Structure formats: C-alpha cells, structure tokens
Structure 1
C-alpha cells in the first residue's frame, strides 16, 4: 500500500499520513465518478488557458519569483534557461523590482538557484541587480513557502507584495494555484516561452498537470470545508 501511495506524496501531501492520503483519494475519486470525468476536463481547461494565455511580462514593475528546475551537470537545462532568459529580458526592460531565484539542490553539487545566478551573470545580468537565492526547497510548494518567508522578512508587518511567477508555460498552472493558496493573491503568471508549443512532451505534461492540479485543489478545498488542520498545515 505504501508503494502505491508514494506517487501521491507530492506538494501539500508530502508528509501526510496514509489515512489522510486515502481520504483525499476517496474525495477526488468520488468527484471524478459523480461528474463522469468532467471535473478533470474542467481542470484541463484551466491548465490549457493558463499555459496558452499567460503574458510574457507583468503589467508593471514587480518582484520576480523565478522557478528552478533539475540541473544537468550542475548547469540549467533548456526549460530552466528559458525561464532565466525571460527574467533577464524583464530586467533589461525595467520591469523588475527584486528578483528571487528559487531552487535547492536536486542531485548536483550546487543548488538550482546558484546555477541560475551563474547563468544570468554569464549572459549579461547588470552588476546593480543582486538576485536573492532561495536554496532550501526541491518542489514548487516549498519554493513558494520559502519565498514567502524571504518576502516577509524583508517587509515585516506589511502585506504580501505583488509578485510575478516566472516559469515554463506547462508549469505555470500549478505555481499559480499554489501561490494563491499560500496568500500570494496578487500574483501574476509570466511565461518563459514566447508561445505554447504542443509537441508530444508538452501535451503529456499538460495532461499530467491537470490531474495534479485537480488532486491538490480538490483535496485542499475538501480539507478546508471539513476543517482538517493537518492537511491544511502546509499551505498556511
């Protein structure tokens, strides 16, 4: 049973008990059955719209949260390079208040954030721009939780500043959902790629993303409805 539940221990459920995971699985399964799968199609539409329609820049100057990705030979791979290139373009356009590079060690000798900073400097990041590094996380939820702590530390007693979430189009729906659960109510998505390219790899990612977003969102909504403090603890 533990091996079957292992793939479900992601995001808010990383430290959830087995019975809690089963509880969420029953709720999501019931929603799928009662809707004849239409609920998943609804989340797929949400994922598609965010991935396809997200802009290439925020509406005004904002703090940037740039999401990392697993490194290859301690260097950013293609998707991560696109995210960094978008952030660099926004710096040159004068649209960046502060920049936060998110990502801890994911198997390499250095963190994703460190590798991202090295790439930016090698590609013309102005000396006056000093990105903050968040290096304690290995998934999107923890990226955002630790970024929230950094922002609150910088501005104690103030409301959460508006932020722009910079990542790949297929990754934006998840990040936007989790950001809003964590209190980033004024967050906006910013796409790394010029447009959504629907090759086989991206299509499969979008289908999987819809299932993941449904699993997280329905589970958290149900937990909030019944007052399940243990399930909600990770998004507070």
Structure 2
C-alpha cells in the first residue's frame, strides 16, 4: 500500500521533518534530492526477480480498483505466484488494509491469487489492518516475530516503491531482500514521475530521522522503529 503522506501533515514531528527537508533542499540547491533520486533509481533498476534462497515473501498491497487489484498490484501478485511456482517460496504474507473498497487489499490479493491457481498447500497469511507501508511492516513484524527475532524476508513490490520499503524494513529490524514486481524498469513518463515522488518521500523520511538523531528527539525516532 502506498498511502498519501498528506494525512500526516497536522503532526508536529512531521512538520519539523518537512521544514528540515526544505531547508536542506534549498541550501544544497537540489543536489541532496538528486542523490536520493539516484539511490531510488539504482534500487529500482538493480533489484532481482528471484531470491537466492527460500524466504517468507511480503507482498505490499496497492489501492484497489473497483474492489479488485489494479495493474500495479496485479504485477506484484503475479511475481509472488511465479516465486511459488518456481519453488522460491511457500509462505506469502499479503499486506494491506481497506483503501476505500468493500474488502481489504490483502483479501483482494488472496482472491486474485486463488483465481490464478495458487496451490492450496502454500501458506498464505493476510495483514489487513494497515494504511501505509510503515504500518504494513509493523504489523508484519508482529505476525512474524518469535523469541525477539525476525526471519529474513522478501520485500516484493513495484520497482519505484522498493527503496522506501527497504529503508523502513531496516528501521524495523528486518533483514529484507528487495524483489521487483516488473521484469524490467519501465521508462514511461508516468512511471518516472513515481520514481521522483518516491525519492522525495524517502528524503523527507531520512532527513527527518537524521535531524531527530542529531538533536536527540527520541519521540521522532520512535515513530519509525
């Protein structure tokens, strides 16, 4: 799921992070943002299609279209199905609560997978309470954590979304391997715009956390932990 960040703007910590980001952006004449763009691009372009070993696969949801997975989400689900069929996975955890439809993103994803022939012996779990990528991972951690340890996981999502998911997963203690939904990085203008938007989100998150660590604001750092 990729919820819009604007719903957080009433939060004081988020406002501080935004102010720090704008200041750094101005002082660097945009060069810092360019660095994040390159980082997001590299992860999007270089992430593999299969893991090197069998792991639990976290499939990030996406806003539903008429209560069913749209094109982006279908690509993610199709990649998860391919991993199962190729023997790279036997445990899928679908992430995503309701985003305006009658059912959750996770439930819609599970229905789509079964319609496409997902085998019954595959372990399929649903996380249906989250509203954004951070909550996706927090709830996944609650479901998977045992004896204060987390298993290594695959982070399966669209290429433009991988860098942010990797950053959040590290903050929450996951050993996460990014796996791309799309076979190659699309170069369409709309897709490139998504990459640039993701770079902005990532800069906002990262610089806010760096500022919080610098000034000792534990409340801010605890927001993503």
Query: Secondary structure, in 3 states, of the residue corresponding to 1:51?
Result: helix
Q: Is the 8 A contact 1:16 1:231 kept in 2?
A: no
Q: Is the 8 A contact 1:67 1:167 kept in 2?
A: yes
Gap regions ≥5 residues in structure 1: 1-6
C-alpha separation in 2, matches of 1:162 and 1:22: 34
Residue among 182, 188, 207 paired with 1:199: 188
Q: Is the 8 A contact 1:52 1:196 kept in 2?
A: yes
Whether 2:36 is the aligned partner of 1:47: answer no
Task: Kindly state the Cα deviation for residue 95 of structure 1 after the two structures are TM-superposed.
Answer: 1.1
Q: Is the 8 A contact 1:86 1:192 kept in 2?
A: yes
Query: Secondary structure, in 3 states, of the residue corresponding to 1:133?
Result: strand
| TM-score (normalizing by structure 2) | 0.93
1:156-171 to structure 2, matched below 5 A, reads 157-171=147-161
C-alpha separation in 1, matches of 2:65 and 2:11: 33
Gap regions ≥5 residues in structure 2: none
| TM-score (normalizing by structure 1) | 0.89
1:105-144 to structure 2, matched below 5 A, reads 105-144=98-137
1:34-113 to structure 2, matched below 5 A, reads 34-113=27-106
Q: Find the counterpart in structure 2 of residue 3 from structure 1.
A: none
Q: 1:16 to 1:227 in 2, by over 3 A?
A: farther
Q: Is the 8 A contact 1:64 1:98 kept in 2?
A: yes
Whether 2:201 is the aligned partner of 1:212: answer yes
Whether 2:217 is the aligned partner of 1:223: answer no
Give me the CA root mean square deviation.
Answer: 1.6
Q: Is the 8 A contact 1:172 1:191 kept in 2?
A: yes
Q: 1:78 to 1:22 in 2, by over 3 A?
A: closer
Query: Secondary structure, in 3 states, of the residue corresponding to 2:25?
Result: helix
